[in-house]
Amino acid sequence: MTSEMLKGHLDAILLAVLGAEALHGYAIIEAIRTRSGGHFDLPEGTVYPALHRLEQAGLLASHWVQPDSGRKRRVYQLTDRGRGSLVERRDGWSRFAEGVERLLGAPA
C-alpha cells in the first residue's frame, strides 16, 4: 500500500474522523491509526497542513484549548459546510471504489 494511494482521499478521512467527534491534530493522527485497523499511520507533516487547508476552505473550525495537564492543543470541529462536504465525499468514495472494483475485481 503505497502512500500515493492516499492522495485525494485524505480530506474525506479527516472530515469523517471529525464528523464523529471534535479532536486536536495529534489525537486525529492516533484516531486514524486506531480506527483504520492500523492501516494508516500518517505523519504529522501530512495531517497538519491538511487541517490548515480544510480550515482555510471553511470546512473546519479550530480553537485553542489549555487542558488541565499538558500543553495547549488546537481542537478542530466540522463546520456546516464541512458536514455537507463529508456527505458528498462519502458518496464520492463509494462511486470511486465501485469503479475501481469493477476494473480490478475480475481476475483475468
Partner DNA sequence: TTCAATACATAGGAATGCTAGGTATAACTT
Partner DNA sequence: AAGTTATACCTAGCATTCCTATGTATTGAA
Site of interaction with DNA (CB under 7 A):
3-4, 6-11, 24-27, 42-46, 48-53, 67, 69-75
For 55, residues 6+ apart whose C-beta sits below 8 A from its C-beta are 61, 62, 76
Shortest distance, position 87 Cβ to DNA, whole Å:
18
Shortest spacing between CB 107 and DNA, in angstroms = 21
Does 17 help bind its own copies (rule: CB under 8 A)?
yes
User: H or E segment at 74?
Assistant: strand 73-78
Regarding 49 and contact with its own copies (CB under 8 A), the answer is: no
108 binds, among its own copies, DNA, none (CB under 5 to 8 A by kind): its own copies
Q: Please, which of residues 67-106 interact with its own copies by CB under 8 A?
A: 89-90, 92-93, 95-104, 106
Alpha-carbon span 54 to 61, nearest angstrom: 9
76 CB burial (10 A radius; 0-12, 13-18, 19+): buried
